Every structure is written in C-alpha cells, then in structure tokens.
Amino acid sequence: MERANPKTTDPVERARTLGWIGAAYFDLGRGVEDVELLESAKNYLEAERIAADEEAPLVKAKLDNNFANTLRGQSHGTDVALLEKAELWYERALRAFRQLGESAFAREVSQCLESLHPQTLRRAGWGRRIGYEVAATY
C-alpha cells in the first residue's frame, strides 16, 4: 500500500503507519460500521504482512490488539468465527505484552478477553444448537 508513508522504506514504520490508518477507519466507523471495519481490517492485515519478518514485538502486539478489536466489531457480537478469531489475536497480543513487561497494555487486553469469553461461549453454544456455521473470513 503506497499510501502508507511512501517516503520510507522502513517496514516497521510502514506497518506502524498502516496501523494508524486502520485505527482511523475503526474510529471513523465507531467500531460498528461494516465499510470502515473492512478498511480497518485490510490495513491491519497489510501491516502484519509488512512487519512479519521484522523485530518489532511492541508494534506487532499493538497491531494484534487493534486487529482483534476490529474483528470483534465486525462480528457485531453474533458471528462466532470472528469472535473466536478476535480471541486468538487478543491472546497473541497479551502474550507479547506480558513478555515485554507492558503491564498496562496487558491489563487492557486481559479486560477485552474477559468480556469476550462469555460472549464467545454463549454464541458458540447457540450456534451449535441450531446448526449454524460461519465461514472464517481471515
């Protein structure tokens, strides 16, 4: 994505910039509007791709956490597959924040996970009862 700070070739800086763009789309759509959430997700996924081989654990953890927020928003609280994906990304971010000693970020992600678990379990049980299946998007 050339729009993400085309003046730098530093992959970490480009990933960070894409993360900011993802956050801007998330905020623009108030975390619930599908079009903005899709753009947010695209930017986070591109940021993850760019940063994949880089040594930037804090940047990656922040991207993971924010992408989880986007997935959770896309789920609208009812799409089990997206809720489960969000859970995985939150867990990945939490591990990294703990390893890095980032206790404030770890606490924030823990709170997200605590509120997500009952929602995931409730929706997954509901989905199984009526035979509902959701194809994972990501």
The span from the CA of 56 to the CA of 100, in Å, is 11
Burial of residue 51 (number of CB atoms within 10 Å: 0-12, 13-18, 19+): buried
The span from the CA of 5 to the CA of 19, in Å, is 12
The one-letter code for the residue type at 6 is P
Overall fold of domain 11-129: 1.25.40
- Give, in order, the Cα–Cα distances in Å from 7 to each of 14, 16, 47, 50: 9, 14, 16, 15
What residues does each domain of the chain span? Answer: 11-129
| pLDDT tens, residue order, the chain (138 aa) | 445 555 668 999 999 999 999 999 999 999 999 999 999 999 999 999 999 999 999 999 999 999 999 999 999 988 889 999 999 999 999 999 999 999 999 999 999 999 887 766 655 554 443 333 333 344
